[in-house]
Structure 1
């Protein structure tokens, strides 16, 4: 049961269990040590969960503070995604909870007839955010919803020729002659039409592909698809390397971690691959797993950032993040050991 622990130089469960964090202790016992625990609903009444839920408004979204900076961007959609990352990924709220049912309907109200969830770049396509949001909805129990199926069909249509996805709008790639001001207007003005200037020959973005792949990784059917396997191979081929795109291009972006997941990094990418049953004996995966073994701290935890371009202070907030990141890494190692 704990063979995966033998891979590490230090036992991470000791620090997790002694953290004083009720939720971290709960999942350490449940996911890592496979001990009997109370039903998940015991976490839903925690003050940190209730604090978030109480701010949800009637349409199911979360409002933002202050005025909207750009009229064409759906800021409540962005803020809602930020909040459900915590509720669904950290505390595992699902569609038996009324807050999740309300938020699902709000998000699906942002789905277009084409199938994407739109508004973060005004009227432009964002497959990377669509995938990241679908990931959360699937985890919350919406894997069989026809609107999720519609989203997958759209994501498959938005691939580059190599089988991956890009950061930004794939419909804008051919607009290379635009000035920065014109580009900003296109992605913030609700009166601008959806750009259709595709260039499928451009290579995939690891940052974008990693976010989309999360949705595939938690779907019982699509995780086994040839499209998912192709995207997996592309993603792992860029571990520790520069991205093909200027956004998040520096190799050190692989070594800056967040939990709940946001941008693609080594933890979020390996999480998807482990959920999809990818082999730990693959050279790229093996190299990545060894990196974590070599960079574990003596207390058994991992730092928030090992990046030279993204420094992170060592404070109480960072310590909490270290606990969640360590929990995620342990889950990854456990899955790879058991597959």
Structure 2
């Protein structure tokens, strides 16, 4: 949706003008995702307000996720020895429940996990981010993204699925989908000690938490493509596993061999098997995140609102079945 009239009255424009005395009103506002308190965020493109008349992305987030993103843009990315998305400030809404973040528009080529050069660039970026975050040590400022947090997420997810077994508005086959996911969670919990053993002793560092195609762009440069990474609302601190997940949905699937070479001075990531095992754990963590996001729609009781969440749970369940089978924990036909 494009807005061309009464732009100064729009909340995104008002917040942008409040960030400094020399700000100008947008020439046009594109609504990428409208703000809704039940959603994760609202995203708008403000045309002509940035440096040189460039566009600025205005993102409205709940306070708790805005705090995470702000800490990344203000306290981490300025120290990363690589180009990053520009940050133009933040403004809290009068409601006291949300905050605006203003960011450079990440223009560039779309990322493809089928492109080996792209995967190598992603691996080098992750290695630089992990080295920088370990040096800075921001653990206390970020949510936990380790095995303990994911075990809690899995148990919460399973409980929610069980609650909806008796929901009369589920579409045909809906109960079977939820039952499959519950059984997969049972299997995964039965092997959780193996996941913890793999992660135990691994270095803890920054985790993006949603390192997927839609949150990456490649900007051309004289030295080759530069990776721009954005949408940090799920960032946290934990073992570097989730962002290493391979070929699950739309994950970036960074080149693990390149990543390992870039972190050759990390003894705990010194061999191929260690890094591959960590990425396999990350695949399970990523799938649990996807299932949790898919299950959010189950809170709505109208039958037409349940079709997509059940379909998304089914798709995630199929990927989980593949991952469990490759781990040797189930027989997948």
- Tell me the TM-score range normalised by the shorter chain: under 0.3
What TM-score, normalized by structure 2, do the two folds share? 0.28
Higher strand share: 2
Q: Relative CO higher for 1 or 2, CA cutoff 8 Å, sep ≥ 6?
A: 1
What TM-score, normalized by structure 1, do the two folds share? 0.27
